[in-house]
C-alpha cells in the first residue's frame, strides 16, 4: 500500500453494488478480485478496510477489548455478524449486504471518507449530521489538544505554552 487514502467522495450505490473511486483503488493497490472487509462503524456508518490493513490493524483493536466484558463481546459479535468480505469486481465495485445498507441508511449516494488505511461509508444525511461544517483552525487545535491530553502526550515538541 502506497500513500494514505484521503479526501471525501460521493459514490454511487446501485443494486447493492458500491462503486469505489479510482483514486482509492489506486492508493490502496486494489485490482479486480481484491478482497476488502466491510463492517459496522460508529454513529451509523460502515467501515471499509483493504484486507492487508484489516489483518494488521483491526484484529488488534477488537482483541484489545476485554474478553470478559459483555459489551465488548456484543460489539465483536455485531461486527462479525454484519461484516462481509466482498471482492472488487472488474468495474471497481463491491457488493454490500442488505443488512449493511439498512444499518447505515444508505441509498443511491454514499459519502466515502478515507482515513489513511480505512474508509468510512455514510449516508449523506448522517454524514452531514456528524460533520456539519469543517472545523475552524481554533476548533481543530482544541480537538488535537483534547486528544493529546486524553492520551497523556501533551503538546508536540516546540509547541509547549
pLDDT of residue 14: 96
* Residue 2 main-chain phi, psi, to 5 deg: -90, -120
Please provide the DSSP assignment of 26-94 as one string. Answer: HHTT--TT-BEEEEE-GGG-EEEEEHHHHHHTHHHHHHHS-TT-HHHHHHHHHHHHH-B-PBP-TTSEE
CA distance 70 to 88: 35
Instruction: Output the nine-digit C-alpha cell for 102.
Output: 439498512
Contact 46, 118 (CB under 8 A): no
Q: What is the CATH number of domain 9-125?
A: 3.40.1550.20
pLDDT of residue 76: 78
Instruction: Output the nine-digit C-alpha cell for 1.
Output: 500500500
pLDDT of residue 158: 47
Residues in the chain: 161
Over the chain (161 residues), the average pLDDT of each successive run of 10 is 69 96 90 93 93 72 63 80 93 97 96 89 93 78 88 57 45
**Sequence spans of domains, the chain:** 9-125
pLDDT of residue 87: 96
Instruction: Output the nine-digit C-alpha cell for 113.
Output: 471518507
Amino acid at each position: 500500500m502506497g500513500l494514505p487514502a484521503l479526501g471525501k467522495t460521493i459514490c454511487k450505490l446501485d443494486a447493492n453494488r458500491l462503486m469505489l473511486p479510482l483514486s482509492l483503488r489506486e492508493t490502496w493497490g486494489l485490482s479486480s478480485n481484491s478482497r476488502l472487509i466491510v463492517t459496522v462503524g460508529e454513529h451509523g456508518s460502515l467501515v471499509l478496510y483493504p484486507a492487508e490493513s484489516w489483518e494488521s490493524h483491526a484484529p488488534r483493536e477488537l482483541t484489545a477489548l476485554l474478553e470478559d466484558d459483555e459489551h465488548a463481546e456484543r460489539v465483536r459479535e455485531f461486527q462479525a455478524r454484519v461484516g462481509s468480505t466482498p471482492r472488487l469486481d472488474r468495474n471497481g465495485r463491491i457488493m454490500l449486504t442488505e443488512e449493511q445498507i439498512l444499518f447505515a441508511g444508505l441509498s443511491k449516494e454514499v459519502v466515502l471518507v478515507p482515513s489513511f488505511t480505512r474508509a468510512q461509508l455514510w449516508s449523506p444525511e448522517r454524514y452531514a449530521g456528524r460533520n456539519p461544517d469543517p472545523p475552524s483552525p481554533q476548533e481543530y487545535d482544541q480537538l488535537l489538544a483534547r486528544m493529546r491530553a486524553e492520551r497523556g502526550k501533551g503538546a508536540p515538541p516546540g509547541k509547549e505554552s
